[in-house]
Amino acid sequence: MTELAQNLIDALALGSLYALIALGVTLVYSVMDMMNFAHGEFIMLSAYALYALAGAPFGIALGGALVTGVLIAIAAERVAFRPVRKADMSTQLVTSLAVATILQNVVMGAADARPKSVATPPFVSETTQLGSLSVPNLEFITLGLTALVLAGLGWLLYRTRAGLAMRAAAENFDMARLLGVRADRVIALSFAISGALAAVVGVLLVMQTGQVSPTMGLTPVLVGFVAVTIGGFGRMLGAVIGGLFLGAASSLLGAYLPADLLPFRDAFVFSLPVAILIFKPQGLLGAATGEVRV
Amino acid sequence: MSAVRLRSRPSLAVSVLAPLVLIALTVAVGTSGTPSLRGTVTTILCEMIVVLGLQVFIGNSGVYSFGQLGFASAGAYAAALLTLPAAFVALQTPGLPDLIANAQLGAVGSTAVAAVACGVLAAVVGLPLMRTSTLAIPISTFAFLVVAYNVIGNWDRVTGGSGGLVSIPRTTGLVSAGLWAAAAAAVALAYKWSTCGYRLQATREDEVAARSLGIGVTGERLIAFALSGTLCGVGGALAVHQSGVLAPTTFYFVASVTTLTMMVAGGARSVFGAVLGTIAVASVNELLRGVEGGDKVLGLFSIGNTPGLAAIGVGLILLATMVALPDGLTSGHEAGELPWIGRLLGRRRVADRAAPPVTAPMGGGKDGAPAKAPVERAGALRAHGIAVAFGGLRVLRGVDLTLRPGEALGLIGPNGAGKTTLVNVLSGFLEPNAGTVELDGVDVSGRSPFRLARAGLTRTFQGALPFPQLSCLESVAVGAMGIGDRRGRAVARAGEVLDRLGLNGRATQPAASLPPAEQRLLGVARALATRPHYLLLDEPAAGLNEAEGEELVAILRGVLEGFGCGILLIEHEMSVVMSLCPRVQVLDDGVTLRIGTPGEIRADPSVIEAYLGHSYLEPANA
């Protein structure tokens, strides 16, 4: 019983982390119809900001990570994604892959390919005793941050003018433009929020693993993509559900797979969603765009 | 065979020879160089085979796969394990089954086995992946790449795990790599110009229109996916026998991005582009790698040790291509189709000449198909009680419809009456909430559009939905290929249909270059090429001016007489229907208002009311 509860909390925590990744991916997708490969690099660069600011007080390092995530996302949009905004989805996807490759290798050139360890406050790696459960503090942090982010995002999207503009752009970009929504602003804002989410994820990943590496964004971006796909393209709630599902699956497989199959956990985690997509090709909630046009 | 050809002989010859000549030149450069250059060029030729593999799937389907390097990896491991001396096998991969462990194949044998194995693997993997939506395939294939990496990297007893394999026999020579690359280019071209290749290209150009022509999207993608996997497997097998070492990361993310860049830089739709792009990007890459290692480039400058520089270069090329030249260096053309080559050849393409007048009756005789005798066909297209609701909006509320072979039935009604929805149901694009559709006595409710097209029911769309990158002749031939015609027969059929509709002068022009009225006509031609028994035309005259509309009516009348199929003509413009259809069905607000002759319809007050509103009938406004 205790073990089950423990595993469920672990699953929820990892699911929350994955949901944050998926939200970052889907925010950009919903206004621009672009699956952004470079989201993983936004995460990676935010984590490197934490590494670069290792000597500073932790609060300042966190702020630096956040600012880095936001600035990189806005810069990538301005430099690379704006020229292909009108292009088809495949072109945008491959463009973001190019950006990801460039960012990843710039970091590799500047800070070499080996992982670097990053010190985090001791509190993060301690555990709290809850009855018979011992819960890592990091899981509380993850769950708390996720709740905070969801609430903040909900407030922004449904209680502010900017959020209304974003939702309108997500529904029908061209119509929103005709009605006076400023495309450049809405897209820049989506990237900024997406970058901030990436920074949160980057910080959590550093806290989890204690290190940074140039390729650390690859698995998260795949997680984000798959979560968005199984949740339904362009659906905020779908992204959260997809992320939770994927994180829970990964965590529970880690807990219950036989030892000799444990190394193949990722193979199981990423094969599962394909099964969902065969039966629900548009994802669990159905895609918000891309309906069959006849 | 008809004199109509998809491409002229000189153009065909240039398209086939250009990639082969380029490969031969590459081999020649390698032969004349140092041993290290030979090795580099051999590696590039192996990469080229993988890039050709990518082109087969991505170029023809227009759907990106990020998983093809997983097949290259599988091919490399298969070939390596089949050729490793037994002593090394025992050391590195103790868990390998004896059959493979003891196998000691030669270079060709191991490559062939790897090719077959990868083809089968790709077919098995593709079976579920190709069923996912067009949006999801890039992601599910990316997931496959990671799954393959995870399995290879952790299956220590069979693959040697993350440490990889060493001491693999280095049997791939420069010339043999060149020969394999040439063969791969030939296969890629042959596929592109096969009926399967054309069907897949049609789905790339317009998925919905392709489905309406009898093309099963999933199946066509799967064929290309398996062929692509085979080629990637060959590339991987040859590459590992060049380098002699192999690790799970050899064919992973970096290699995926590099090969993808090579393909798009050359032009994804073009086989020649894959060859050219590989050579171009590999050259830049090698140059940067020299700088990266601190070498002096061309004896000029050196900027010290800078890891990642080559990969940054690749990323920049990819970015620049996407932003500035999305169709690549070749604009997606094969060599013989390049405009400047055309000028060089200095003569008009054969197919540009008007096709000779068709003497055989349409739909049969000449190409061996039995001529249709539509009037004697017993069957009919029947719909019973079709009801469709979108949420609370009830668009159709129990509509019946019967279309007999050889007759022209007009379906009219004001905007929003449900005409197009009914066509969507009849053609299988929309599943009704209630009601059945019967085709020649067989219940076909719920069948997908492409199966209905093969069963003899084809539709057109309100938009022209052209295949922009295909020529008119190719576009129409795809229609015949969709229902299973072989290439020669399909092309002959396409020539006849174009001739009959007066489009024969347009045969080699890209479909996108036609004026709107002719694009609409091309849509009809494409549908006719499927030899339909029943043809549903959804507002063919929409958006055309009066003169164009009248011309279209004249042509449709010819279609009715010449092709012998039953036609359902949907229009809200009454005059077009009235002049063409002896029987007219009026739809209003989701129900059938009236069925009758044009005269009866014109005189029916309820029809006038539906069209013009109640007040029109009142004396004060008359």
DSSP B579-621: HH-SEEEEEETTEEEEEE-HHHHHH-HHHHHHHH-GGGGSGGG
Q: What is the pLDDT of residues A177-197, one digit of tens each?
A: 888 888 889 999 999 999 999
Whether A142 is in a domain gets the answer: yes
Query: For the residues B571-597, what does the mean pLDDT come to?
Result: 87
Give the model's pLDDT for residue B622: 37
Predicted confidence band at B611 (pLDDT cuts at 50, 70, 90)?
A: confident
Are B260 and A89 an interchain contact pair (Cβ–Cβ within 8 Å)?
no
For residue B305, pLDDT over 90 is answered with: no
Give the model's pLDDT for residue B338: 86
**Residue B246, strand partner residues:** B165
Whether A289 is in a domain gets the answer: no
The distance of A255 to chain B (nearest Cα, Å) reads 18
For residue A293, pLDDT over 80 is answered with: no
Which token pair is B511?
Answer: 């479909």
For residue B378, pLDDT over 80 is answered with: no
For residue B303, pLDDT over 80 is answered with: no
Q: What is the pLDDT of residues B9-22, one digit of tens each?
A: 888 999 999 999 99
Residue with the bigger pLDDT between B616 and B527: it is: B527
Q: Are strands B583-588 and B591-596 parallel, antiparallel or unpaired?
A: antiparallel
Residue of B64, B65, B69, B135 to mutate for A, most A C-beta atoms under 10 A: B135
Give the model's pLDDT for residue B620: 47
Whether A36 is in a domain gets the answer: yes
End-to-end CA distance of chain B: 62
Q: What is the pLDDT of residues B111-153, one digit of tens each?
A: 999 999 999 999 999 999 998 888 899 999 999 999 999 999 9
Q: What is the pLDDT of residues B387-435, one digit of tens each?
A: 999 888 899 999 999 999 888 999 998 888 899 999 999 999 999 999 9
Between CA A136 and CA A148 the distance in angstroms is 19
Indicate if B374-463+533-621 has the same CATH topology as B10-252.
no
Altogether, the residues listed in chain A come to a count of 294
User: Which residue of chain A is at minimal alpha-carbon distance from B424?
Assistant: A294
Q: Scanning the structure block, which residue is given the tokens 């010190």?
A: A119
Interface of B with A in 241-270 (CB under 8 A): 253, 257, 260-261, 264
CB of B325 within 8 Å of a chain A CB? The answer is: no
Q: Mean pLDDT of all residues in chain B?
A: 87
User: Which residue of chain B is at minimal alpha-carbon distance from A286?
Assistant: B133
Give the model's pLDDT for residue B76: 96
Give the model's pLDDT for residue B356: 42
Q: Please, which residues have CB within 8 angstroms of residue B392's CB and are 6 or more apart in sequence?
A: none
Percent of all residues in chain B with a pLDDT value above 90, rounded to a whole number: 61
Q: Please, which residues have CB within 8 angstroms of residue A180's CB and are 6 or more apart in sequence?
A: none
Fold of the domain spanning B374-463+533-621: Rossmann fold (3.40.50)
Question: Contact at 8 Å (CB) between A22 and A231?
Answer: yes
Q: Pick from A61, A86, A98, A76: which is nearest to A24 by CA?
A: A76
Between CA A281 and CA A272 the distance in angstroms is 14
Domain segments of chain B: what residues?
A: 10-252, 374-463+533-621
Longest Cα separation, chain B: 104
Q: Pick from B52, B67, B64: which is nearest to B273 by CA?
A: B52
CB of B351 within 8 Å of a chain A CB? The answer is: no
Residue of B139, B208, B395 to mutate for A, most A C-beta atoms under 10 A: B139
CB of B345 within 8 Å of a chain A CB? The answer is: no
CB of B225 within 8 Å of a chain A CB? The answer is: no
Contacts of A113 in chain B (CB under 8 A): 307-308
Q: Are strands A127-130 and B381-390 parallel, antiparallel or unpaired?
A: unpaired
For residue B375, pLDDT over 60 is answered with: no
CATH architecture for residues B10-252 = Orthogonal Bundle (1.10)
Whether A286 is in a domain gets the answer: no
Predicted confidence band at A98 (pLDDT cuts at 50, 70, 90)?
A: very high
Give the model's pLDDT for residue B377: 54
Beta carbons within 10 angstroms of residue B614's beta carbon: 10
A63: containing domain = 2-120+129-279
Are A271 and B430 an interchain contact pair (Cβ–Cβ within 8 Å)?
no
Nearest-by-Cβ selection for B151 from A102, A214, A264: A264
How many Cα neighbours within 13 Å face the side chain of A140?
13
Beta carbons within 10 angstroms of residue A151's beta carbon: 10
Q: Look at residue A129 and give its three-state secondary structure.
A: strand
Predicted confidence band at B365 (pLDDT cuts at 50, 70, 90)?
A: very low
The helix (run of H) or strand (run of E) holding residue B278 is helix B271-292
Between CA B358 and CA B366 the distance in angstroms is 10
The distance of B318 to chain A (nearest Cα, Å) reads 6
Are A80 and B429 an interchain contact pair (Cβ–Cβ within 8 Å)?
no
Residue with the bigger pLDDT between B160 and B303: it is: B160
Residue of A274, A276, A293 to mutate for B, most B C-beta atoms under 10 A: A274
How far, in Å, are B105, B451, B530 from residue B484 at the CA level? 40, 11, 9
Q: What is the pLDDT of residues A243-283, one digit of tens each?
A: 999 999 999 999 999 998 999 999 999 988 888 887 887 78
The helix (run of H) or strand (run of E) holding residue A12 is helix A2-32
Q: The CATH number of the domain where A51 resides is what?
A: 1.10.3470
Whether A228 is in a domain gets the answer: yes
Predicted confidence band at A99 (pLDDT cuts at 50, 70, 90)?
A: very high
Predicted confidence band at B621 (pLDDT cuts at 50, 70, 90)?
A: very low
Predicted confidence band at B300 (pLDDT cuts at 50, 70, 90)?
A: low
DSSP A235-282: -HHHHHHHHHHHHHHHHHHHHHS-GGGGGGHHHHHHHHHHHHHHH-TT
Are A270 and B430 an interchain contact pair (Cβ–Cβ within 8 Å)?
no
